């Protein structure tokens, strides 16, 4: 539940720090349209665990074209913080298909504009790899979550140093970031998650076996405010 519903109090829209790239944005919307089901099939067990029993109102950072709507109950509300306009048409269509009320905010996760301690649940998948400043995003999550609220995440991270996957991630970092609009395959996201001031952070590391080798090392978990 969020305070001030339905006219959720907001500061003026902010997309500072995010540049929409029409061509690559459209490419990525189409890419996730085609490859999304395969990605979701790979991570389904982890999402089932961390996205179980979502409350009736959820804030999602970087919703993309809406793969996480399937974890929400029809009739519930998703406040989607997604600055990438080329994703919006598919996201709206997905929300309609799933019967979820979509409150779409063209903003960055660093500046959601939501009030302090107003939110019970924030989720993200494959987003902390792409935001300009993960620590700033996590500070924002802490700011908007009520005590007892949860931040639930599924993210890809850097492989352990010296492993073949890590060497490949290093080699691919530039074309990967160019193609996927700033996505880094070299972040150790467990460190900022544990440093963000949550009461408790449960993190499970795991490995996928997909052809997207540099994205196969992942974490999923829940941080408690
Ligand atoms: C790899 S996609 C993942 C999309 C979706 N969450 C999924 O699991 O398919 C990364 C998403 O993060 C969004 N994004 C990038 N920078 C962002 C920011 N600063 N704030 C919020 N979203 C951001 C992108 O527009 C994109 O939709």
Q: What is the DSSP string of 3-70?
A: TT-SS---PSP--TT----HHHHHHHHHHHHHHHHHHHHHHHHHHHHHTTT--SEEEEES-TT-GGGG
Question: Does residue 25 line the site of ligand 1, with CB under 6 A?
Answer: no
Q: What are the structural domains of the chain?
A: 5-224 (3.40.50.150)
Is 127 near ligand 1, meaning CB less than 6 Å away? Answer: yes
Q: Is the pTM of this model over 0.85?
A: yes
What is the structure's pLDDT at 16?
72
Residue to mutate, 71, 127, 128, 219, ligand 1, most ligand atoms under 8 Å from C-beta: 127
pLDDT < 70: residue spans in the chain: 1-13
Residue written as token pair 């905010």: 105
CA distance 77 to 54: 10
Ligand 1 pocket, residue 66 CB under 6 Å? no
153 CA distance to ligand 1 middle (Å): 13
Per-residue pLDDT, 148:
97
Using the Cα atoms of residue 203, residue 208, residue 214 and residue 215 in order, give the sign of their dihedral: negative
Tens of pLDDT, residues 59-75: 999 999 999 999 999 99
Question: For the chain, what is the largest distance between any 2 Cα atoms, rounded to a whole number of angstroms?
Answer: 51
- Give CA–CA dist 17/84, Å, rounded: 12
The pLDDT value recorded for residue 71 is: 98
d(CA 132, CA 114): 19
- Confidence at residue 8, expressed as pLDDT on a 0 to 100 scale: 46
């Amino acid at each position: 539940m969020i305070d001030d519903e339905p006219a959720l109090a907001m500061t003026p829209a902010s997309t500072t720090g995010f540049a929409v790239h029409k061509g690559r944005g459209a490419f990525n919307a189409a890419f996730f349209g085609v490859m999304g089901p395969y990605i979701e099939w790979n991570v389904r067990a982890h999402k089932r665990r961390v996205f179980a029993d979502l409350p009736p109102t959820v804030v999602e950072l970087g919703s993309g074209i809406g793969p996480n709507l399937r974890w929400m109950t029809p009739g519930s509300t998703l406040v989607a913080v997604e600055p990438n306009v080329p994703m919006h048409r598919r996201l709206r269509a997905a929300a309609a298909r799933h019967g979820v009320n979509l409150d779409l905010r063209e903003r960055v996760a660093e500046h959601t504009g939501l009030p302090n301690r107003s939110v019970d649940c924030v989720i993200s998948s494959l987003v902390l790899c792409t935001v300009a400043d993960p620590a700033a995003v996590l500070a924002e999550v802490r700011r908007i979550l009520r005590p007892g609220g949860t931040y639930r995440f599924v993210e890809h991270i850097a492989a352990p140093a010296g492993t073949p996957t890590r060497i490949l991630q290093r080699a691919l970092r530039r074309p990967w970031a160019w193609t996927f609009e700033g996505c880094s395959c070299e972040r150790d996201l467990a460190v900022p998650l544990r440093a963000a001031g949550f009461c408790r952070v449960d993190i499970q590391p795991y490995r996928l076996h997909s052809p997207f080798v540099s994205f196969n090392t992942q974490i999923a978990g829940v941080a408690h405010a």
